Structure 1
Amino acid sequence: MRKLTTFGFFLVLMLLAACSNEAGASQPEAEQEEPQEATETEEADVVTEEKDVEETFENVYPLTGEPTNDSVDHRVLSVMVNNHTKARPQSGLSQADVVYEVLAEGQITRFLALFHSDIPDEIGPVRSARPYYFELANGFDAVYTYHGASAAINEKVAASGIDYLDGAGYDNNGWLFERDSERAAPHNSFLLSSGIDQALAEQGYEAEKEVPALPFSEDVSPAGTEAGNVKVTYYDREIVSYDYDADSEQYLRSSDGAPTMDRTNGERIALDNVFIVRTEHNVIDSAGRRSVDLTSGGDAYLLQKGTMQEVQWKNVDGRILPYKDGEALSFAPGQTWVNIIQESSTVEVLNEGGQ
């Protein structure tokens, strides 16, 4: 009797343990739970929200047509940049919104570089003033910056009413202009942009102004000749060429066969628009100084997206702009280079297609 009772007791215990195990197995452990994955709809909402944030901009830079959330009401800075072979490579040109290239004396061109969307720390070498350059700067109500000029030309600058900064009055002062000891004058004077605000304040010039925008369009689809390589010959010793890079949709600039590089950052000069303007030039003195007609209009060429169009140019409110059959054309957003050439200069398309 005692044996039967003991066996029954153990049997009950085994049954109770088995029931307990089954009950425990039916309870999932917390750490075994898998995190719930986001649904496709939720993921799409996140992507859409991120896309909307990326495409929302408050402003557009007026001289590049590119969107920004930065303020755009500051002055345009224009700088006379030396293009003598001893001045190359120059500093700051890769960051210029617009560059005008025009013959100075003899067979050498000089640049007027306009900075607004991106102002580099150092720009130069800076060279002397000429009337048709500050005429171009005046079309943008820009601060005209140069280094030295004859007394007669300085008088013309002052009489024009343009706001200007002459490096001769700040020569190597360490905060606005600085001489590079590795180069010889007059190819070694550089503008320091960190001093611009101080200089404007000292001269009583406005630091902020609304800048009217150049004509831009995201949908530029030029109809013209395929132009993978274009050569502009001012003179036999002054040759500019542009090679189209299909990947970036930009033209890469060279001077006399050598790539145009920025000394400061090592970047190649790459343009979204190249505007070649033909106009009358006249030599006016024994030093070879010129007058250049910037008002009459005439024939021009517009390079965009691997294509060259034969167009016309007009001066509209002091700015040289492209037209075709009387209709205004748009620039592609980005940087623009304007070659102003004389009647005898040549423009050649050397090959079709891009790199």
Structure 2
Amino acid sequence: MNYKRVLFIVLAILLLAGCSAKEELALDDSKTKDLADKKNTDVKDEPRNKFPLTGVSSDESIEQRAVAVMINNHPNARPQSGLSKADLVYEMLAEGDITRFLAIFQSERPSQIGPIRSARDYYIETAKGLDCIYVCHGFSPEAKTMLDKGYIDNLNGLYYDGTLFQRSDDRKAPHNSYISFAGIQKGAKEKGYEMKGAPKPFTFLTEEDVAGLQGESAQKVEISYGLKEYDVEYEYDATDKKYKRYSNGEQAVEYKSNKPILLDNILIIEAAHKVIDEKGRRKIDLNSGGKGYLLQKGRLNEVEWVNRGGRIIPVKSDEEVGLIPGKTWINIIPDQPGLVKDVSF
């Protein structure tokens, strides 16, 4: 495969016809009034806590440490297990035109997570920015150096295959390595890793902010990483008020249960990519910042992204842009050619 060719990345935003700006603003005003009326009549006690990576209120403890898991995105690994419970998912290119996921779990603890794949240095850096325990199965040479030096607390399936990590009988290696959250907790205890210590919270919008959200009406978004098998599509569901995800035309759901993956925030950013070896491995610059699109409630806003303390943050005029409480997916694409917006009415 020729890895020197330029990847064709297209972002297509398809706008719903028939809804004028005035109608949308009137709808927003109506929502704001409804929320104000509801706030005046509600007398229920508010939950005491908010999870730092989702902004979702809870009476449960929110002090647990986050866990980052490398998830396989090969077609033979789909559908995956546990992704619907991840607070954050980062999708980036690994080798060639193949993407993998870094799934961050803090508010929920799925019974099974996987299939799990090998580490790359930029995934490790991302996990480090959230002070996660990092879970993988294998590594690139650069990632091995980082893990061997203890750069991040980690559990690697190469050393726990058949113990903490289990192989599924209904898929073939390397697409069949899984771990349970109980297994992660057991491994962390064995290695003396602290399981307390919640990450610093992101900035989240209030109900009033969400009701008054502005931006272009973006009902459907398509991202191509170069291979059809890794094409991504997000489609806004006005009933659920969330985005559905599709991979190569098939809806992303949980393995066995078929529970759909539903998202509240989608951040799409461009970053410099560089192929560094004959295997097609990459360096991805997640420090310099750049352009991005933020999709929320069927609307799109152009933003910038910055790296603050190892975390990718959407900003406008250097102010952090608030997220809608819920699940967030971050797609990182090469800056050549970068974000290309094709708008259809």
Change (3 A) 1:140 1:169: same
> Residue in 1 aligned with 2:199?
211
Q: Does the 8 Å contact 2:270/2:339 carry over to 1?
A: no
| Alignment match of 1:135 (pick from 122, 125, 132) | 125
Say which structure, 1 or 2, has more relative contact order (CA 8 Å, 6+ apart): 2
Change (3 A) 1:260 1:328: same
Q: Which runs of 5+ in 1 are unaligned?
A: 1-47
Cα deviation, residue 183, structure 1: 0.5
Quick one: distance in 2 between partners of 1:349 and 1:241?
Answer: 14
> Residue in 1 aligned with 2:4?
none
Cα deviation, residue 51, structure 1: 5.2
Quick one: distance in 2 between partners of 1:305 and 1:160?
Answer: 41
> Residue in 2 aligned with 1:70?
60
> Residue in 1 aligned with 2:108?
118
Q: Does the 8 Å contact 2:89/2:329 carry over to 1?
A: yes
> Residue in 1 aligned with 2:215?
224
Cα deviation, residue 346, structure 1: 4.9
Cα deviation, residue 348, structure 1: 4.5
SS for the counterpart of 1:126 is coil
Q: Does the 8 Å contact 2:120/2:140 carry over to 1?
A: no
TM-score, reference length from structure 2: 0.83
Q: Does the 8 Å contact 1:314/1:321 carry over to 2?
A: yes
Change (3 A) 1:349 1:89: farther
Aligned residue identity for 2:263: L
Q: Does the 8 Å contact 1:87/1:188 carry over to 2?
A: yes
- Structure 1, residues 10-68: CA drift from partner, whole Å, max 9, x if none? xxxxxxxxxxxxxxxxxxxxxxxxxxxxxxxxxxxxxx9x9544x42121111100000
Q: Does the 8 Å contact 1:228/1:351 carry over to 2?
A: no
> Residue in 2 aligned with 1:4?
none
- Structure 1, residues 310-341: CA drift from partner, whole Å, max 9, x if none? 11000011110111233221000000000000
Cα deviation, residue 351, structure 1: 5.2
Q: Which runs of 5+ in 2 are unaligned?
A: 1-38
Quick one: distance in 1 between partners of 2:140 and 2:129?
Answer: 23
> Residue in 1 aligned with 2:264?
272
Aligned residue identity for 1:208: K
Quick one: distance in 2 between partners of 1:213 and 1:280?
Answer: 27
TM-score, reference length from structure 1: 0.81
Aligned residue identity for 2:171: R
> Residue in 2 aligned with 1:330?
322
SS for the counterpart of 1:185 is coil
Bigger-Rg structure (1/2): 1
> Residue in 1 aligned with 2:225?
234
Q: What pairs up with 1:11-160 in 2 under 5 angstroms? A: 52-53=43-44, 55-150=45-140, 152-159=142-149
Change (3 A) 1:260 1:112: same
Is 1:286 equivalent to 2:263 in the alignment? no
SS for the counterpart of 1:323 is strand
Q: Count residues in correspondence.
A: 301
Cα deviation, residue 154, structure 1: 1.6
Quick one: distance in 1 between partners of 2:314 and 2:150?
Answer: 26
Q: Does the 8 Å contact 1:275/1:337 carry over to 2?
A: yes
Quick one: distance in 1 between partners of 2:267 and 2:142?
Answer: 31
Change (3 A) 1:308 1:287: same
Is 1:172 equivalent to 2:157 in the alignment? no
Cα deviation, residue 151, structure 1: 5.2
Cα deviation, residue 168, structure 1: 1.1
Quick one: distance in 2 between partners of 1:120 and 1:348?
Answer: 36
The alignment-based identity, stated in percent, is 44
Cα deviation, residue 72, structure 1: 0.9
RMSD between superposed Cα atoms in Å: 1.8
| Alignment match of 1:201 (pick from 162, 165, 189) | 189
Q: Does the 8 Å contact 1:78/1:114 carry over to 2?
A: yes
Q: Does the 8 Å contact 1:231/1:350 carry over to 2?
A: no
Q: Does the 8 Å contact 2:120/2:142 carry over to 1?
A: no
Cα deviation, residue 152, structure 1: 4.8
